[in-house]
């Protein structure tokens, strides 16, 4: 099976029902995408599928063929994506485990909605649980990232 992950076509040998999450982590060694619940409840496994934020823990790899997968490792080569920079600037992370998922959800939001309202931010990130409770700074960072993207256009 061929997979397009972070702009590179990879040949993978995996059962068709294996969720994309475990193909990324256990087959391709891309461990930035996290396992948190296994039932699309927590968002730790969020990746982009053709640019849309998608929970990879319940998505059979067979459904991904021919589509573009972007993981946290592919968001930018060096942490320079506006969302990542805003995250560092707002000092969002604590334990950090949920953060790749939060960032992928936020990046999809700001790509599609250059001026998200607070309600838009709440809706786009409601599926990403953070037990450390970084939510307040997540909101701040998303606003910063959106503003920065608008400014750079």
Partner 1 sequence: MTSLTRRQLLRGSLISGAGLFVAFHVPRKVRAAPQPPAKQPPNPNAFVRVAPDDSVTVLLAHSEMGQGIWTGLAMLIAEELDCDWSKIRVEHAPAAPVYAHPAFGMQMTGGSSSTWSEFDRYRTAGAMARAMLVRAAAAQWKTDARKLRTGNGYVVRGKDRLSYGQLAVAAQAQQPPRSVKLKDRKDWKLLGKPMRRLDSPEKVTGKAQFGMDVRFPGLRTALVARSPVFGGKVKSFDPSEAKSVKGVEQVVQVPTGVAVVASNFWSAKRGRDALLPRLEWDLGPGATLDSAAILQGYRDKAKSKGPGIAAQKGDAEVALAQAAKRVVAEYDVPYLAHAPMEPLNCAVKIDGGRCEIWTGTQFQTMDQMSAAKIAGVPPENVSIHTQFLGGGFGRRATPSSDFVSEAVQVAKAAGVPVKTVWTREDDIQGGFYRPLFVHHVEVGLDGKGRPVAWKHTIVGQSILAGTPFEQFMVKDGVDATSVEGVTDSPYLETVPARLVTVHSPKQPVPVLWWRSVGNTHTAFAMESMIDELAHASGRDPLEFRAGLLAEKPRHLRALKAAAEMAGWGKAPGSGRARGLAVHESFGSIIAQVAEVSVDGDKEIHVHKVACAVDCGTAINPLGIEAQVQGAIAFGLSAVLHSELTLKDGRVEQSNFHDYRVLRLPDMPEVSVRVLESDAKMGGIGEPATAPISAAVANAVYALTKQRLRSLPLRLAVA
Residues contributing to the site for partner 1 (CB under 8 A): 15, 18-19, 22, 25-27, 29-39, 41-42, 44, 71-73, 75-76, 78-79, 84, 87-89, 91-100, 103, 121-123, 125-139
Are 86 and 144 contacting, i.e. CB atoms less than 8 angstroms apart? Answer: yes
Looking at the Cβ atoms of 68 and 129, the one nearer to partner 1 is: 129
Looking at the Cβ atoms of 15 and 51, the one nearer to partner 1 is: 15
CA nearest neighbour of 104 among 57, 63, 64: 57
Q: How far is the CB of 42 from partner 1 (least distance, A)?
A: 5
Q: How far is the CB of 152 from partner 1 (least distance, A)?
A: 19
Measured between alpha carbons, how far is residue 46 from residues 55, 67, 74, 135 in Å? 5, 15, 13, 17
Cβ neighbours for 139, distance < 8 A, ≥ 6 positions apart: 118, 121
Q: How far is the CB of 123 from partner 1 (least distance, A)?
A: 8
């Amino acid at each position: 099976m061929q997979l397009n992950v972070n702009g590179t076509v990879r040949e993978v040998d995996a059962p068709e029902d294996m969720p994309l999450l475990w193909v990324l982590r256990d087959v391709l060694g891309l461990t930035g995408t996290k396992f948190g619940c296994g039932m699309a409840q927590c968002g730790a496994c969020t990746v982009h599928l053709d640019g849309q934020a998608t929970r990879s823990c319940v998505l059979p790899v067979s459904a991904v063929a021919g589509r573009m997968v972007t993981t946290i490792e592919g968001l930018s080569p060096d942490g320079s994506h506006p969302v990542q920079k805003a995250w560092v600037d707002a000092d969002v992370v604590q334990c950090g485990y949920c953060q790749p998922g939060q960032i992928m959800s936020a990046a999809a939001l700001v790509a599609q909605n250059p001026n998200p309202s607070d309600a838009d931010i709440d809706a786009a990130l409601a599926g990403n649980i953070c037990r450390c409770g970084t939510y307040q700074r997540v909101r701040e960072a998303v606003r910063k990232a959106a503003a920065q993207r608008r400014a750079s256009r």
